[in-house]
């Protein structure tokens, strides 16, 4: 956490939109938890409306401090709509395990999710835009920005970047064992959690890669499991 983040209230205010209403005991509003989930995820889903028609679009994102950045082509319908400061809802979900109960009714999942509300605005400042592009790259493959060719002015100009403040958001988390009806605990049925995690397979080199070029450490040891030190 940066010194700037440390000066900010560690807990977000609870609003009518961000308040967890179903199973409120699973709700979290502290920034550190929200930031950790966002940093571990790879894809967000952006919900918005065009002419009263609802849309939900999956896209990549990056975080810098208390701002979430979304990027794409200037020709994208979603980004052309969002740059007009249309209200959006952005979600990120991490699936941590399948919870197998003794009854089908109580099967569940262990997960961590974040919902963000707000109005996205187009990034015009060149320095902020480049910082956002770095955040996108480092979010997907931490450590790669310093080794790859950086974006050209033409590439930067051809990318639309939108900024969404992380001021109205909440997390919802489920952990632990299944919760069965008391009478079902006597049933001779296996119950527990089947943990899941995103694991990278062995890297596959580009067919045109020179054979003497070895994968860098950030490729060899790639992980998204931030909970366990990734």
Strand positions, DSSP E, 77-166:
84-100, 108-122, 160-165
Where does the pLDDT of residue 53 fall: very low under 50, low under 70, confident under 90, or very high at 90 and above?
confident
**Statement: residue 142 has pLDDT above 80:** yes
Q: How many CB atoms lie within 10 A of CB 229?
A: 6
What's the rounded mean pLDDT across residues 65-82?
Answer: 79
**Statement: residue 125 has pLDDT above 80:** yes
User: What's residue 157's pLDDT?
Assistant: 83
Least confident of 85-89, 147-151, 196-200: 85-89
User: What's residue 227's pLDDT?
Assistant: 55
**What are the extents of the domains in the chain?**
3-200
Calpha distance 98→104 (Å, rounded)? 12
Q: 199: burial class by Cβ within 10 Å (0-12, 13-18, 19+)?
A: exposed
Where does the pLDDT of residue 4 fall: very low under 50, low under 70, confident under 90, or very high at 90 and above?
very low
User: Greater confidence, 81 or 175?
Assistant: 175
What's the rounded mean pLDDT across residues 135-160?
Answer: 92
**Statement: residue 5 has pLDDT above 80:** no
**Statement: residue 229 has pLDDT above 60:** no
Calpha distance 188→168 (Å, rounded)? 46
User: What's residue 159's pLDDT?
Assistant: 86
Where does the pLDDT of residue 1 fall: very low under 50, low under 70, confident under 90, or very high at 90 and above?
very low
CB 31 within 8 A of CB 12: yes
Where does the pLDDT of residue 226 fall: very low under 50, low under 70, confident under 90, or very high at 90 and above?
low
Strand positions, DSSP E, 101-190:
108-122, 160-165, 169-174
**Statement: residue 75 has pLDDT above 90:** no
**Statement: residue 22 has pLDDT above 70:** yes
Question: Considering the domain 3-200 in this protein, what is its CATH number?
Answer: 2.30.110.10
Calpha distance 223→200 (Å, rounded)? 7
* CA-based nearest residue to 63, from 94, 92, 20, 89: 92
Calpha distance 102→118 (Å, rounded)? 41
What's the rounded mean pLDDT across residues 181-197?
Answer: 97
CB 99 within 8 A of CB 2: no
pTM of the model: 0.88
């Amino acid at each position: 956490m940066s010194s700037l983040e440390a000066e900010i209230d560690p807990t977000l205010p609870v609003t009518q939109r961000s308040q967890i209403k179903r199973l409120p005991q699973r709700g979290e509003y502290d920034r550190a938890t929200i930031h950790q989930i966002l940093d571990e995820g790879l894809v967000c889903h952006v919900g918005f409306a065009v002419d009263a028609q609802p849309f939900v679009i999956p896209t990549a994102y990056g975080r810098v401090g208390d701002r979430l950045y979304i990027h794409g082509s200037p020709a994208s319908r979603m980004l052309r709509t969002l740059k007009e400061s249309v209200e959006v809802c952005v979600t990120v979900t991490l699936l941590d395990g399948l919870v197998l109960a003794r009854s089908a009714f109580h099967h569940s999942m262990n997960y961590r999710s974040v919902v963000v509300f707000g109005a996205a605005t187009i990034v015009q400042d060149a320095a902020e835009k480049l910082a956002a592009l770095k955040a996108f790259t480092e979010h997907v493959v931490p450590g790669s920005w310093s080794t790859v060719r950086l974006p050209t002015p033409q590439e930067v100009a051809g990318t639309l970047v939108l900024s969404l403040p992380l001021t109205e958001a909440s997390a919802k988390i489920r952990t632990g064992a299944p919760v069965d009806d008391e009478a079902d605990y006597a049933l001779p049925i296996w119950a527990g959690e089947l943990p899941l995690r995103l694991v990278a397979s062995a890297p596959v080199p580009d067919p045109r890669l020179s054979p003497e070029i070895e994968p860098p450490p950030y490729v060899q040891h790639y992980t998204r499991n931030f909970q366990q030190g990734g």
